[in-house]
Amino acid sequence: MRGDEADLPIVSIVMPCYNEEEALPETVRQMTALLERLVREKKVSEQSKMLLVDDGSRDKTWSLIDSFHRSNRFVSGLKLSRNVGHQRALLAGLLTAKEYADCIISIDADLQDDITVIDQFIEKYKQGYEVVYGVRNKRTTDTMFKKFSAQFFYKLMIKLGVNVVYNHADYRMMSKKVVNKLEEYQEVNLFLRGIIPTIGFKSDSVYYDRLERTAGESKYPLKKMLIFAWEGITSFSVSPIRAVSVVGFFMSVMSLLFAFYVFVRHLQGNTVSGWSSLILSIWFIGGIQLLCIGLIGEYIGKIYIETKKRPKYFVETELHNVVVTEAKTQQLQETR
């Protein structure tokens, strides 16, 4: 068992924020109430925090974070130099939080993921679990299209051999040890839902119902959802590129069969030249070729991006008021 009363865990709740001006006040209010209760009930250290990561927002998100930081002892802030995307912003928060926290919980700032199960996260951490996944039990608040597309995405990923947790997004708890291992992954094309299960260590899941968004609108429209899904598939599975070989083989067989058919018709004296069938065949084969070339190009493009090894993000401003005791500092250094 970890974290007895004499050594309560320092918990950091990391929340990437992009144009969350409308939702942020309610989010901070609910998270503050949660942390105050956890501290009062002696489940976490009083030095536990929420870390709000501003991913290059264009509204007043950062000014709100700065204001909350000045008036709320639980609020820390991280401002990135520009918008780098949800996954990189989340990674920035995780790597920052691990410097002072024993365990890190990641959650979206819209609070559609039920924060009441954070108690279960912490309890499982004390029981020795290094990773705890928040799994959506019901998606009654999602539209029919979003529910279908999300479930299809998870099933497709699993079918392609990607090790993802079904109906799990980025709501999870990780110990400092796991985040240290996550930092060793140097890939630029980030898909944390696929990376974290590959790290290993003792893990478990907690289940919750998806809630309504507190305010504002979703930052993941259909276009971004499709890009994110494609990023995940091409980052963790070579099945699509293998399918190119299958399509090529299939088309070769079809061509041989069609050539045999034409030869037989020619022997029977029934061949009739046709412009339409010729053009359709050319277009069909040409379309398949372009599709295959594009798919191969997608993987080559990823290789190109990875080889440049550009930094994933830059931190512009960091707001912290964490004061760690000497004993806790020594303990954190020993676990690194």
Which pLDDT belongs to residue 52?
95
User: 212 and 279, same structural domain?
Assistant: no
165 and 104 belong to one structural domain = yes
Q: What is the pLDDT of residue 77?
A: 93
Residue 298 lies in a domain: yes
Task: Indicate if 128 and 186 belong to the same structural domain.
Answer: yes
Band of residue 66 on the pLDDT scale cut at 50, 70, 90: very high
CATH number of the domain where residue 58 is located = 3.90.550.10
Residue 227 lies in a domain: no
The string of pLDDT tens digits covering residues 102-119 is: 999 999 988 888 899 999
User: For residues 17 and 165, which has the higher predicted lDDT (pLDDT)?
Assistant: 17
Q: For position 37, what pLDDT does the model report?
A: 94
Residue 315: how many CB atoms within 10 A of its CB?
13
Q: Is residue 229 part of a domain?
A: no
Query: Is the Cα torsion angle 79, 83, 89, 92 positive or negative in sign?
Result: negative
Residues 299 and 151 in one domain: no
Q: Is 261 in the same domain as 304?
A: yes
Residue 16: helix, strand or coil by DSSP? strand
pLDDT tens for 271-297 read: 556 644 665 577 667 667 767 777 777
Identify the residue with better confidence: 324 or 118: 118
Same domain, 303 and 316: no
Q: Check whether 259 has a pLDDT greater than 70.
A: no
Note whether residue 2 is domain-resident: no
**Which backbone phi and psi does 76 adopt, to 5 degrees?**
-120, 160
- What average pLDDT does range 139-153 have in this prediction? 62
Q: Which residue has the tokens 């279960």?
A: 120
Integer Cα distance of 139 and 152 in angstroms = 14
Q: In the structure encoding, which two tokens stand for residue 269, read together?
A: 């004296």
Which percentage of the chain shows pLDDT scores above 70? 61
Does 164 fall in a domain? yes
Q: What is the mean pLDDT of the chain?
A: 77
- How far apart are the two ends of the chain, measured CA to CA in Å? 20
The answer to whether the beta carbons of residues 32 and 68 sit under 8 Å apart is no
Q: Locate all alpha helices (DSSP H) within 58-199, ordered by sequence.
A: 61-71, 86-97, 118-126, 144-159, 176-183, 192-199
Q: What is the pLDDT of residue 197?
A: 85
List the domain range (segments joined by +) for residue 19.
Answer: 11-219+312-335
Q: Is 230 contained in some domain?
A: no
Q: Name 123's Cβ contacts closer than 8 Å, sequence gap at least 6.
A: 43
Residue 51: per-residue pLDDT: 95
Question: What is the pLDDT, as a whole number, of residue 327?
Answer: 42
Q: Are 142 and 264 members of one domain?
A: no
Domain membership flag for residue 225: no
315: Cβ contacts below 8 Å, ≥ 6 apart: 78, 79, 80, 81, 92, 96
Whether residues 189 and 264 fall in one domain: no
Lowest mean pLDDT among 51-55, 213-217, 297-301: 213-217
Whether residues 187 and 320 share a domain: the answer is yes
Residues 130 and 182 in one domain: yes
Answer for the pair 16, 90: CB distance below 8 angstroms, yes or no.
Answer: yes
Give me the number of domains the chain comprises. Answer: 2
Do residues 62 and 198 both lie within one domain? Answer: yes
Task: Tell whether 191 and 295 lie within a shared domain.
Answer: no
C-alpha span between 113 and 214 (Å, rounded):
11
User: Would residue 128 count as lying in a domain?
Assistant: yes
Banded pLDDT at 268 (limits 50, 70, 90): low
Helices (H), 6-117: 24-40, 61-71, 86-97
